[in-house]
Amino acid sequence: MPDLPVPPAATAADPSSPPLTLPLVGWRFVALYALAYMSTCLLFLAPALVSLALKVNALVGIDRAPGSLALIASIGALVAMFGNPFFGRLSDRTTSVLGRRRPWLILGLVVGSLGILVVAVAPSVPVVLLGWCIAQLSFNAVLAALVAVMPDQVPVAQRGQVAGILGVCMPIASVVGTFLVKLNTPNLVAMFLAPCAVGGFFILLFAVTMKDQRHDRAQKPPWSVREFANTFYVNPRRNPDFAWAFTSRFLFVLAYAFLTTYQAYYLLDRLGTAEADVAQQIFLGTLVQSVVIVAASLVGGRVSDRTGRRKVFVAAASVVYGLALFLIAAATDVNGFLVGMAISGLGFGLYMAVDLALVVDVLPDSGSAAKDLGVLNIAGALPSSIAPAVAPAILAVGGGSYGVLYAVAGFCALLAAGAILQVKGVH
């Protein structure tokens, strides 16, 4: 399970960004940027939702697969968590004739695709782990460079609009990714490489057509170990509202990670789905979920802006998501699973539409908004490592029941609602 990409905030202020007198960007740029961002999400999500679980299952069998997948997903998520800010800093300091961002878009895509190829042809779990870590590290270089394009080229007056468009890219990428996997079932190599081919085309198209900035070597930003370490920390005692918002997002994404990482095994073990039908059923579940996510995101964000309220929407979204997970946990057939996925889309879409706005409202310092939002990204990445690590223990205590695992995920979502209600600085 990859980290959850967070669209750049409309109000983020990066001291290393260019002056705010940037020219307006046209719809051609916005369309290509959105396609590249969606394609980057596709690189992460297609293997994480289906292919990786099926590959591990093919290597070790259903009894050992959950533990092996837990190891791979946990280590991969840790690599992603540290790789993103690291490559972001390298991108800021790049003085290549090709620009600051373009080299990392191209290099990250090429090396990451090679990592996916290693996963696809791996003869053992350790080789799968090696390939997945290469892919996570490299694709996070792509993500870091791509997100940095926002402050580089999009003026303040358009950042909210562009960020809103990027916000619906992930659910669309989920549907496209699961469809491509389903289309190439049962050929595992094609299931892994088809998303790389489709996503890589649009990332390269954007990399080639964008007007990247170039830095002279004399303008290279300063570097220090202390500055890099501070990227990962916001003092919770001085900034309790941000700490509670961080906690809420961590718990919510933890619930999300439980759901997505173990969908394939849930269908195989609890619902008795045939292995040949797993990709089709995950595609259908992702499709109905994503349709609701897009609608809830667009409507929920607008209503929140009009009412001036954030907490009630985020708390309600967490409760809805938790109830959806309880429904999935209790499902006895695919129809129950699909209904639960649709309801989860309502909670997920509403949460993602409003939670980022709430976090921006409680940022400790507007002068370090980009850094603080980088800390928030940890709340989107760390659960993807923790969930696979603790899931085997939950399954052991629950007698191997994926219903118990998803019930625990539901409680995590309810705790996320309780955490966000502790925020005092916004309504």
CATH of residue 56's domain is 1.20.1250.20
Q: How many domains does the chain have?
A: 2
* Residue 344: domain span: 232-427
The pLDDT score that the predictor gives to residue 164 is 61
- What is the pTM (predicted TM-score) of this model? 0.71
Percent of the chain with pLDDT over 90: 30
The pLDDT score that the predictor gives to residue 38 is 93
pLDDT at residue 18 is higher than 50: no
Residue 285 main-chain phi, psi, to 5 deg: -65, -45
Q: What is the DSSP letter of 48?
A: I
The pLDDT score that the predictor gives to residue 67 is 83
Q: What is the mean pLDDT of residues 211-216?
A: 72
Q: What is the mean pLDDT of residues 369-398?
A: 75
CB 371 within 8 A of CB 230: yes
**Helices and strands, number each (H, E), in the chain:** 16, 0
Task: Please report whether residue 225 resides in a domain.
Answer: no
Task: Please report whether residue 317 resides in a domain.
Answer: yes
The pLDDT score that the predictor gives to residue 144 is 81
CB 149 within 8 A of CB 7: no
Q: CB under 8 Å, gap of 24 or more: what pairs does 270-274 form?
A: 270/331, 270/401, 270/402, 270/403, 271/331, 271/332, 271/333, 271/334, 271/337, 273/334
pLDDT, greater one: 22 or 394: 394
Task: Please report whether residue 279 resides in a domain.
Answer: yes
262-286: pLDDT as tens digits: 888 889 888 888 888 888 898 889 8
The pLDDT score that the predictor gives to residue 199 is 95
Longest dimension (CA), the chain: 64
Helix residue ranges per DSSP H, 24-155: 27-46, 52-60, 65-93, 102-121, 125-153
46-75: pLDDT as tens digits: 898 789 988 999 999 888 888 888 889 888
Angle between helices 156-167 and 125-153 (to 10 degrees): 150
Domain match, 44 and 76 both: yes
Tokens describing residue 110: 């090429």
Task: Please report whether residue 199 resides in a domain.
Answer: yes
Domain match, 245 and 345 both: yes
* 17 pLDDT tier (thresholds 50, 70, 90): very low
Task: Please report whether residue 226 resides in a domain.
Answer: no
* 43 pLDDT tier (thresholds 50, 70, 90): very high
Domain match, 191 and 334 both: no
Domain match, 30 and 151 both: yes
The pLDDT score that the predictor gives to residue 12 is 43
